[in-house]
Structure 1
Amino acid sequence: MSQQTRPPLPPFNRETAIQKVRAAEDGWNNRDPEKVSLAYTAESRWRNRSDFLQGRAEIVEFLGRKWAREQQYRLIKELWAFTDNRIAVRFAYEWHDADGNWFRSYGNENWEFDEFGLMAVRHASINDLPIAEADRLFHWPQGRRPDDHPGLSELGL
């Protein structure tokens, strides 16, 4: 059985690191836990806030719970730094809870990839800010962020 690859592969340069970040953003905006989990190694290790996960099954379960709670989820990621097989990103996403309360969540992630381009390690630190619905900045139909929608820097975030 051949190993699955997920281009672009390390070592990263600026262009390929940006491609990797956008691919991750697109995947998460589609909100399909099974599909998203395929970007990670079978034994990928995560720290997400106070949750510690290992393996695709735990990732799928976690993302299913997350997107059931975080409704109308829309995410923007931006490259912060990179090395040969590591990428650091900053991100923000908007969502509302079951009661209709809106939030913008801000965070940073550190990623480490294996030689096949699969993420082996993910560390995420995230803070939630309550916002008024009128203060939302992420306006596009559910799914991939359109190419002409401003990114974090353009939005002043």
Structure 2
Amino acid sequence: MLPPFTEETARLKVQLAEDAWNSKDPARVALAYAEDSEWRNRDVFLDGRDEIVGFLTGKWERELGYRLLKELWAYTGDRIAVRFEYEYHDTEGQWFRAYGNENWEFDERGLMRRRYAGINELPITADERRVAV
């Protein structure tokens, strides 16, 4: 899907991103990003696919049982805004739920050139989980 986005193509782009992230395959996820993509993820700033792969590899080594939901918030031209939540547990079995927003900007090839994510997280019990596994 190439910009400019329609509601249909924006929703599909969001679903493809959700599917890729839920694969927990850093190399697969990184293919959606431009070679020189810029990221802000919480307080971490990344440049390029290699850094993205390294970041995601470490993330999914720590965040076990990871499951993500993404929802289209808004779109225009070459940009998409997404609301998301995900759950995971650490090596000690403590569960967490994270909420946030992402702002995406795409190049003319449909690759994401910028991703800015603001994320808040809280501990939950296993009984409070609501993101289907």
Smaller-chain TM-score range? over 0.9
Percent of aligned pairs sharing the same letter: 62
Specify the alignment match of 1:107 in structure 2: 100
- For 1:55, the equivalent position in structure 2 comes to 48
CA RMSD of aligned residues (A): 0.5
| Equivalent residues in 2 for 1:5-154, closer than 5 Å | 8-140=1-133
Q: What's the CA shift string for 1:4-50, capped at 9, x where partnerless?
A: xxxx1110011110000000000000010011101000000000000
**Helix, strand or coil at the partner of 1:16:** helix
* Superposition deviation, residue 139 in structure 1: 2.2
| Length-normalised TM-score, structure 1 | 0.84
* Count of paired positions: 133
For structure 1, list consecutive stretches of 5 or more residues without a partner in the other structure.
Answer: 1-7, 141-157
For residue 114 of structure 1, report the CA deviation from its aligned partner: 0.4
C-alpha distance in 2 between matches for 1:15 and 1:129: 33
- Say which structure is richer in strand: 2
| Cα distance between partner residues in 2 of 1:129 and 1:106 | 9
Structure ranking higher in helix proportion: 2
Secondary structure, aligned partner of 1:94? strand
Q: CA deviation at 1:129?
A: 1.1
SS of match in other structure, 2:11: helix
**TM-score where L is the length of structure 2:** 0.99
The alpha carbon displacement at 1:85 in A equals 0.3
* Equivalent position of 1:148 in the other structure: none
Give the Å deviation of 1:138: 1.6
